[in-house]
A and B are shown apart, each in its own frame.
Chain A
Amino acid sequence: MEIKVLGPGCPNCQDLERRVKQALKELNLEAQVIKVTDFAEISKYVMMTPGVVINEKVKHSGKPLPQVDKIKNWIKEETA
């Protein structure tokens, strides 16, 4: 599984990355977490940062940030 966290590196994006890693840890799963900071690349997926893309599917964009439980559900959807 490949998880992309989209955002130029503001505190929100860093917080989101932490939550994604937390979700993976709680599920005992390994996945490749890629931080996408390039604006051209971000713009391909979302209009509002920060964003989460799992297996090339946009799961989230903008604020407020998703709760860890919600991220866990997305990961489960993709692993099922």
Chain B
Amino acid sequence: MFKWFADFITYQLLNLPRGEHLSESLNFLLYDIPKIYTLLISVVFFVAILRSFLPPERIRKILSHEKEFIGNILAAALGIFTPFCTCSAIPLFIGMLESGVPLGVTMSFLVSSPTINEVALVLLWGLFGWRVAVTYIVSGMFVAVVAGFVIGRLKMEKYVEDFVYKTKIIADAPEARLTWKERIAGGIEYTRDIFSQVWLYILIGVGIGAFIHGYVPVDLVLRYAGKANPLAVPIAVLIGVPLYANCAGAIPVVQAILEKGLPLGTSLAFLMAVTGLSLPEFIILRKVLKPRLLLTFFGAVALGIILIGYFFNLVF
């Protein structure tokens, strides 16, 4: 249906010739944008409804009963449904530790929550197909579990700032009994919120992607960022770190570059660095983590992402 719409406008309505740069770029844009927006609205709404059953207070209750490892896996899985903005990183961190969630398990949650988010998944699904989206979820969880587990094993509790363990939670947020009407209203509001934040980035990203799709020659990417260049993965991760806020815009661009020969592992590593290694989050976490733990955390996540990159470049 989306394909038909794009073909109709490009080749019938505007009567552009097939196979030319301009018409191929335009066709790509007209095909992707309606498809992604439709996916985005439906998936974000669905996740918002799901999440209304999983407030952070319930998550910490679940996780405080779990041992390490199983706890790490569970934390990584629950993190998928629970995105948080940077301002919430500290209350979440303190709230979890205070209710008895082990440090490593909390870290797994802090990695998986921003790395695997519904906006990134929609774009991966819509642009790369469901196989890549699933691969991304599994890789992201792997990095979250391993980084959290390692930190747990290293017994780094003493590198948490002292005030954290002294903070006493005085009031528990109400275990709100929401009606379905409230859940749906909240879901609509949340979807509108997210959509208004990302639609422009997606449009710009897909626009750049469309340009690359139509104009950039394949061998250019292969020459500089192909599998033959062993430094491509770490460099891709480094470039990804400062792009934290723009995963919505970055994914369409990466998809277009992938089509031009960027290896899958390098692409995944880059995208995980964009979402998972956010500079503002690390800066704000300094308030609760002493430098040594902060660096270990950052290093473990970065290393995990780089390994995922090499792994998929080797396998595919």
Contacts and interface: CB of A to CB of B under 8 A. Distances in A.
Interface of A: 7-8, 10, 12-13, 39-40, 42-51, 53, 56-59, 61-64
A16 B212 CA distance: 42
A2 to B, nearest CB: 13
Given A12-B85, A47-B88, A48-B56, A58 B94 contact: no
B174 A43 contact: no
Interface stretch (B185-193, B201-209, B262-270): B185-193
Contact of A43 (B55, B57, B94, B172): B94
Given A40-B163, A47-B95, A58 B169 contact: no
Contacts of A47: 56-57, 60, 88, 91-92, 95-96, 173
B223 interface: no
B159 interface: no
12 contacts: A7-B87, A40-B94, A40-B164, A43-B91, A43-B167, A45-B169, A46-B91, A47-B95, A48-B88, A57-B174, A58-B171, A63-B193
Nearest to B84: A48
B8 to A, nearest CB: 37
Given A44-B169, A44-B170, A63 B190 contact: yes
B287 A10 contact: no
Given A44-B167, A47-B173, A61-B173, 6 more contacts: A7-B87, A39-B90, A49-B88, A53-B171, A63-B193, A64-B190
Nearest to A13: B87
Q: Interface size bucket, B side?
A: 20 to 34
Given A39-B287, A44-B169, A53-B171, A62 B88 contact: yes
Contacts of B189: 64
Given A43-B95, A64-B190, A49 B87 contact: yes
B42 to A, nearest CB: 18
The dominant DSSP class at the B interface is helix
Contacts, number: 79
B18 interface: no
Most buried by A among B88, B95, B193: B88
Top-7 shortest CB links A-B: A43-B94, A47-B95, A47-B56, A64-B189, A39-B90, A43-B91, A58-B173
Given A39-B94, A64-B190, A44 B87 contact: no
Contacts of B190: 63-64
Interface in B129-172: 163-164, 167-172
A45 B55 CA distance: 14
Nearest to A42: B91
Contacts of A59: 174
Contacts of B170: 44-45, 56
Nearest to B90: A39
A8 B55 CA distance: 21
B164 to A, nearest CB: 8
A53 B170 CA distance: 12
